[in-house]
Amino acid sequence: MYISKLSVRNFRNFKSCSLQFQRGVNTLIGENGSGKSNLLYALRLLIDENLPRRTYFSETDFNRSIGLWKAHWIIIQLQFDELDSDEELQAIAMHKVGHVEEMDITKGTVLLCCRPRESVRKKLFEFSEIPTKKKEGLDEILSKITLDDYEITYRGRNNVDFSDDDNYREYVGDFDKMIFPNPDDESSDIYGVRLSNFSISNEVSCTFVKALRDVEADLKSYRDNPLLNLLRGKEKSISVAKKADIEKKIEVLNQDISGLDEVKNVSAGISESIKEAVGETYAPNISIQSELPADIEKLLQSLKLWVGDPDEEGYQGRIWELSLGGANLIYLSLKLLEYEKVKVLEKVANFLLIEEPEAHIHTHIQKTIFQRLDKRNTQVIISTHSTHISSVSQISSVNILSRSNQNALVFSPSNGLDKKEVTKVERYLDAVRSNLLFAKGVILVEGDAEQILLPELVKAVYGISLDEVGISLVNIGSTGFENIARLFDDLRIQKHCSILTDWDKSILPLPSDEKKDTPIEKDCRNSQKSGQERKEKLDKFIKDNDWIDVYYAKHTFEVDFLLAGNSHEIVETIKKEYKTESKWKEIETALQDEDVAVSGTEILRLANKFKKGWFALMVSENINHLTYIPDYIIEAIAFASPHINNKTLLSMVRHRLRKLQELKIDSDKTDYSKLLAEILKLKNPDESVTAYCKAMENDAVTKLANHLK
């Protein structure tokens, strides 16, 4: 038995979501605040017997995007697969699939529902039956609803996914059209059967390992200390003779401590002081007694872990002497051992929920813990924002959470892909590339030169980094973009992905007859053919997919960077490499030639001479705010980041104007100080950005803003 699906409606930052799970290890990945902890808590509400049996919801538990929470429902649903024939579990088994009278006792559902009581639902239905109903009437009913008018029930065997908007409107209510169902017509196939004497948490084991943020405090706690959880009940297995012997020794030890002269003297001093203060009549009798617990259960609770670093053989100290990572590793190990202890109870299923295990634990340990988790007869669900853990996760068992406006989104990156396609994706997603799973937008590039120069260009020209706007720049290391780009789709990850690649149009004029090609012309022609084939292939690949677009350098990245107006940056680079002025002057003349056959050949010669990646690194040292970003790259940035708003653009504007104040070319007569002052006087970012774009029509920020519209 395992959880195959979790559906959530109106709970915290989830308006509606549905997650698919597999047997074994599953991973929830996402940025901070995306709702990973909320989903684990939603799971625990149904399967963790360690949570209070009485569940409460507050107004803040309702998703904010629905507006007024009143009369809305919170619904958390779990679907189980591979149920056995256990009599108890048949309380949640589906006895119908859809509308077909067909038994299927291997699947089951259980849901937690927080909804208005029947009397309130009846009022809503009666109102919806009024032919001349108006919104004011509904508002009046809603205004009188409080949380006291809500009920919380656990139900099984329901056949409807309430995370689906159409189902919610039909079976809960359409608040826009003011139509609500009749509670008298409720069907158990839709809403499920009330589970009055059955709890799924009693039938399964669930161990929850919370995020490792304050391990030291937890290891000192009586309630949360996993060591105490492991020791509880162990006193019953100690023989009576040993118990009596230990308890007798503690009793003698207490007497010896209490009888110490130093202790007696302090006791007498306290007694005398009180008598002097209040007199003999009112002074209480005082003594100091040692109270080491003689009870064996309490003695076991006094046991503490002593630990030592593996590099310090023979030394052990208290837990807080370890590094944070070491303490976290100890805590996590104790929780996993606690899980093994629970697992042997032979419940019908075992669930291990681990929240962000990566805190303060370095890369190799993160990967090792993940890969060594015992998956036998256990379903593991881990939440993380570690690229190292996500890089060793199987894409088919990953759910990606993404923040949106008051409502988190959930994506399944393997949805609709066959096994061969999934394998290709997993092969590419190493710890570096897997950061695209956390990004708001993605740019795929084919080589080191783009990977090195693009971030530097953006930082120098716009004053912000790609990371600041949530864009992951991923070097594919080839032109096989499809292997990764296929992740971005309506069925999978609904985020924008730009592909940057070369069209490889020949920089040399080519003869009409291929047979007359010189060796250099032949190389140019072959590259041009390959570029055209790649373009046709990619254009076909992205057709009808609104989440991917391709942006081409007409020739190559290096040539188009030069032709954008950046010969100065290249010349400043080669000056450091060629000490003879005549030599770099010769190169400068070639680079500034208007004929691309000349300038393009020279820039490619330099890139090949120094190797493209290293040459890009050299050039990056000479990039500044006056460097031009090629238009096709600006378009790619805009497509990958539609989330960039005018506040971010205004930050770029301020950066541009301040830099242009400090350093500008002699022929530029614009008064940037005056323009900056005028921009800063405007009331809001929208007005400021509009004014800037009007004044600076050909500027990099203006071009980006125009493409974002």
Task: Measure the CA–CA gap between 139 and 68, rounded to whole angstroms.
Answer: 10
Helix axes 363-372, 324-343, angle to 10 degrees: 0
DSSP state at residue 566: -
**pLDDT per residue as tens digits for the range 156-200:** 998 899 999 999 999 999 999 999 999 999 888 899 999 888 888
pLDDT tier at 432 (50, 70, 90 boundaries)?
low
Q: Tokens 């693009």 appear where?
A: 454
DSSP 152-203: EEEEE-----TTSHHHHHHHT-BTTTTB---GGG--HHHH-EE-SS--HHHH
Sequence-distant (6+) residues with CB within 8 A of 637 are 443, 458, 471, 498, 704
208: phi then psi, degrees, rounded to nearest 5: -110, 125
Q: Model confidence at 91, in pLDDT bands (50, 70, 90)?
A: confident
Residues 518-546: b if buried by 16+ CB within 10 A, e if exposed: eeebeebbebbeebeebbeebeeebeeee
Mean predicted lDDT score pLDDT of the chain? 86
Least confident of 103-107, 262-266, 684-688: 103-107
Pick from 286-295, 555-564, 620-629: least confident? 286-295
What's the pLDDT band for 319 if we cut at 50, 70, 90?
A: low
Rounded Cα gap, residues 507 and 494, in angstroms: 38
- State residue 602 phi and psi, 5-degree precision: -70, -45
At 204, is the secondary structure helix, strand, or coil?
coil
Question: pTM (2 decimals)?
Answer: 0.81
* Segment among 80-94, 372-386, 416-430, 604-618 with least mean pLDDT: 372-386
Structure tokens at 367: 């990967």
What residues are paired with 352 via a beta bridge?
A: 207, 380
Angle at 530 between CA 524 and CA 531, to 5 degrees: 85
> At what angle are helices 672-681 and 646-662 packed, to 10 degrees?
150
- Tell me how far apart the alpha carbons of residues 219 and 384 are, in angstroms, rounded to a whole number: 22
Q: Where are the alpha helices (DSSP H) in 172-295?
A: 188-191, 200-203, 215-220, 226-231, 240-258, 261-278
Residues 389 and 434: beta-carbon distance below 8 Å: no
Q: What is the pLDDT of residue 551?
A: 98
Contacting residues for 12 by C-beta, under 8 A, at least 6 apart: 35, 38, 61, 63
* Cα distance between residue 2 and residue 376, in whole Å: 12
Can you say whether the dihedral through the CA atoms of 30, 35, 41, 42 is positive or negative?
Answer: negative
Which of the two residues, 473 and 384, has the higher pLDDT score?
A: 473
350-378 pLDDT per residue, tens: 898 888 877 656 566 666 666 666 556 78
